[in-house]
A and B are shown apart, each in its own frame.
Chain A
Amino acid sequence: MTDISHPGTAGRGIDRSRAIYWGVAALTTILVFGPITPIIFQAFLDKPLYDNTAVLTLGNFGRLFSEPGMAGIFFNTLYFGALTMVVAQVFGAVMAVLVGRTNLPGRKWLGEIFIWPLFVSNLVIAFGWFTMYGPSGFMTLAAKTYLGGAPWNLYTVTGMGIVAGLSQAPLTYLMCLAAVTKADPLLEDAARSTGAGPFRALFSVTIPMIRPAIIYSAVLNFVVGIEMLAIPLLFGGPSGIQTVTTFLYNAGINAAVRPEYGIVGAAAVILLVVVAFLVWLQGFLMKGAGRFVTVRGKASRPSTLDLGAWRWPAFLFVFAFAFLTIISIFGGIFMRSAVSFLTPLIPFWKVLTTANFEQVLGSATYVRSIVNSVLVATIGAAIGTFFILVIALVARRSDFKHSRALEYIALFPRALPGIIAGLGFFYAVIWLPGADVIRGTIAVLILAFMIRYIPVGFGAIAPALAQVGEELDRGARISGADWWTTMTRIIVPILKPALFSCYALLFIHFFKEYVTAAFLYQPGSEIIGTTMLQLVAQGDNGPVSALATIQVVITAAFVLLARRVMGARIYG
């Protein structure tokens, strides 16, 4: 056999792989720090960012703390976050163990119901709670009429915290379920063989194994609580209760009337620091906890614990939870959208109407917001998947010397609350030269959402990438392929299922997002979430419920399609 020409001499041009490494690293850095930098500047400037006469100052922080009611706002935020976390953890973990490890009747369909809330925004959920359990909600009126009183009041910080906790329980449920079902049943069997009863075995072996999942989701839910907008806005607004998020929202929206840039910047920086600390704490607590118990382990069928006589009482408990906090919430939204007036006192069919949908579909603005939402989700998720894929490939599968730094930067948005991402992008498009062209378009929404959800997409791709042996890359390299060819021809085709999952997750997140868009949309670039926010503020509950229903229906259709056709794995 004779030697054939070196592929290198064919002239593939200068090293394009390195160009891609640096290009992706630069783009990621600009996109992640682009919105944070102006906020930090603004926090330390005495005048608006774009005012050339502005000078550095610490005064904004002083003004922030001397603002009346500020201490209360911070206290509300922390209390609300903590309560959200505790309620979500208790219910989520209990449901996960009952559904994942016991012979609870109906555990299969109950488990399906538990993940519904993860597909929709907490704005929709909050509206559902308002419709059912608000002061003149369906359940509230029913309880008053038939039971003689409704002992709940959502318009307090405690009420809000419980609602937020119950609506976040599915997140805890999902993470603990993964841990609980992957836990090796042999260990439990071993405990039982040493004489422990089944409950004892469950508590002494299985529960400690899901501890990492509980710690992880606890911090996550605390963060979600702190940065949540919908529930404090809907329930705190009428009674004058504020959290940092609603403060930022109101101050930011009203900034045209009351120029409070400095204070807004200062509050945003404090929120950013707190969340960044929590995310760091999460990583710190997870260290040595076996990273994530969920990924390991064989797909062995976990043994189920026989509840015996407790089966039906347990079923009642779990079903009541699912019915009162999920089914009734979704049901309330659907019902509200189909009637002119939702009350248990008048028979349903007497108030049936299509007026809510007619109102939505008859308005160019509302229709446009639906179209925009679909566009942002379909196009944005595609661009996002591609961008995140390249980040993951450079961070995990290249010899780029800053690959670790790139991954840190790419994952930083975990610590970036939506409201701050929105505010930051709002500043950035004014501040960065040339960025003005995308102001008020859906392009800026796509960009902002994409940054915010890099970690979500990365989480879908990275584990799949880790499953692909490095020798496959090496084999391609030595066969004559440069890095980029190796990635596109060998690795990406193998990753296809994970890419579908990434696309589906991004689609769902982009489609339900509203907080990040609150400062960024303008007439013409509204999305369902921002339109709902506006309508909620006006008390226009009919069209809100119609929009929410449309959003849920489109999401459900997409999830079905993604699972059936693309085989995407979304939440289990």
Chain B
Amino acid sequence: MADLVLQNLTIKYGAVTAVDNLNIHVASGEFLTLLGPSGCGKSTSLFAVAGLNHATSGTISVGDRVLFDGNPNNTVPPEKRNIGLVFQSYALWPHKTVAENLAFPLTLRKIGRAERDERIKEALGLVEMLPYADRYPFELSGGQQQRVALARALVYRPPLLLLDEPLSNLDAKLRERARVWLRELQERLNVTTIYVTHDQAEALAVSDRIAVMSMGRMRQLGTPREIYERPADSFVADFIGSSNFFDGTMVESGTDSARIRLADGGEIVTPPGPTGKDGSVVVAIRPEKIELTGSTGPNTMRVSIEQRTYLGSVWQYAVRSGPIEFRIQTPSELKEDSILVRIPQEHCAVFPDKPGAN
């Protein structure tokens, strides 16, 4: 098994910078997810690791082996990288049976017949597809194709496994089961894995660490908890889960707290944070962290309920205090038209600008 190190990886297509100065160290056996909206450069980064597209500059290395360092003479072609890759479309070869699909990489490695059959059996067993060895890909369901694609990527026991949105073509229920199963398999094999997805719930569920990307740049790298609870900027706060954003101005900033005046004239206490040039800030708070309270005090607000939405497990309300509109969630239904809410200081985050502003 091996570490994967990306240093200053930059990939440009003409004037478009698809990946901008990416630095990630993936530890041996780690499950790391690249997460971000469509078009943010996840697949481009992944394919650069595989050698299937040309990075512009930076270095890529696995263990002590340099795969790319900007010098064309040192670039290792994809077929010599010994990496497993699962495509979003699975890319099973339609003219080969399941077993033949798995045999191809082994034949290329000049592995003898007996061992080859052994390994194919083992890999198909891992993904529970042994009975389908002689089927052609078009005779399989989407979920089965996805598992065969995974078996094909694992059959030659690569130290590094790359997965490009492997579950996105499955239906929702199957997707949830598949991700649990995938993570178990990865832990069992202890293979270093990079997983690409635009689905934040999926990323939170399976990853050791998540790299959140936007417009070619990495915004934050951390464990699912860190990403969710301490987003590095308003983009991450907005993209992972969902957040309310309050415009405000910094009144007073201390070492472990700050006072911020909101647009309705009230003030709240928050953790300290960076401010914009003119002292303006945004305060982010997740709807489910806002509490109902019976008595006024610091960080409380009287709001009127403007809209009620039943979401099944929770109720969501659009509420308003003067010019400020935001959402809150409660487990049970509220009958009142006007309620008192508290914005817990410890769940607030302060950023200099709103998501999409930069």
Contacts and interface: CB of A to CB of B under 8 A. Distances in A.
Given A7-B79, A10-B110, A469-B91, A476 B50 contact: no
Given A471-B91, A472-B93, A480-B156, A6 B82 contact: yes
Interface residues of A, number: 27
Contacts of B81: 478
Contact of A3 (B52, B85, B87, B159): B159
Contact of B157 (A2, A485, A489, A493): A2
B79 A478 contact: yes
Given A4-B109, A480-B105, A482-B77, A474 B82 contact: no
Interface in A291-342: none
B89 A7 contact: no
Contacts of B173: none
Interface in B108-140: 108-111
A476 B156 CA distance: 13
Contacts of A493: 95
A367 interface: no
A375 interface: no
Contact of A469 (B84, B85, B89, B191): B89
B337 to A, nearest CB: 50
Contact of A478 (B52, B54, B93, B95): B52
B58 interface: no
B108 A472 contact: no
A1 B83 contact: no
Contact of A475 (B93, B154, B189): B93
Interface string A477-517: 11111100100011001100000000000000000000000
A469 B154 CA distance: 22
A494 B137 CA distance: 14
Interface string B61-81: 000000000000000111111
A52 interface: no
A7 B109 contact: yes
A429 to B, nearest CB: 40
A7 B189 contact: no
A8 interface: yes
Given A2-B157, A476-B104, A477-B52, A7 B91 contact: no
B42 interface: no
A469 to B, nearest CB: 6
B38 to A, nearest CB: 17
A479 B157 contact: no
Contacts, number: 94
A5 interface: yes
A485 to B, nearest CB: 7
B152 interface: yes
Contacts of A469: 89, 91
A135 to B, nearest CB: 59
A246 B80 CA distance: 58
A39 B133 CA distance: 60
A8 B77 CA distance: 9
A478 B87 CA distance: 11
B294 interface: no
A273 B95 CA distance: 46
Interface in A429-482: 469, 471-472, 474-482
Contact of B104 (A1, A489, A494): A489
Contacts of A489: 104
Contact of A482 (B79, B85, B92, B95): B79
B84 to A, nearest CB: 7
By secondary structure, the B interface counts as: loop
Contacts of B77: 8, 477, 482
Contacts of B254: none
Nearest to B108: A480
A3 B159 CA distance: 6
Contacts of B157: 1-4
Contacts of B111: 4
Contacts of A481: 79, 104-105, 108
Nearest to A475: B91
Nearest to B95: A493
B87 A475 contact: yes
A472 B189 contact: no
A6 B108 CA distance: 11
B94 interface: yes
A494 B87 contact: no
A490 B308 CA distance: 56
Contacts of A8: 76-77, 79-80, 82
Given A475-B93, A478-B50, A1 B191 contact: yes
Nearest to B78: A477
A489 B95 CA distance: 10
Nearest to A489: B104
Nearest to B109: A7
B192 to A, nearest CB: 11
A489 B77 CA distance: 18
B91 A479 contact: no
Contacts of B95: 493-494
A4 B50 contact: no
Nearest to A480: B108
B156 A4 contact: yes
Given A475-B87, A478-B52, A485 B93 contact: no
B47 to A, nearest CB: 8
A286 to B, nearest CB: 25
Contacts of A494: 93-95
Interface string A237-251: 000000000000000
A8 B1 CA distance: 18
Nearest to A4: B157
Interface string B147-175: 00000101011110000000000000000
Contacts of B104: 476, 479, 481, 489
Given A3-B82, A6-B82, A489-B104, 14 more contacts: A1-B157, A4-B156, A5-B109, A7-B79, A7-B82, A7-B109, A8-B77, A10-B109, A474-B87, A480-B79, A480-B80, A481-B105, A482-B79, A485-B108
11 contacts: A3-B1, A4-B109, A5-B109, A7-B82, A10-B110, A475-B92, A477-B78, A478-B51, A479-B105, A494-B93, A494-B95
- The 4 A-B pairs of least Cβ separation, nearest first, read A8-B80, A471-B91, A479-B105, A475-B91
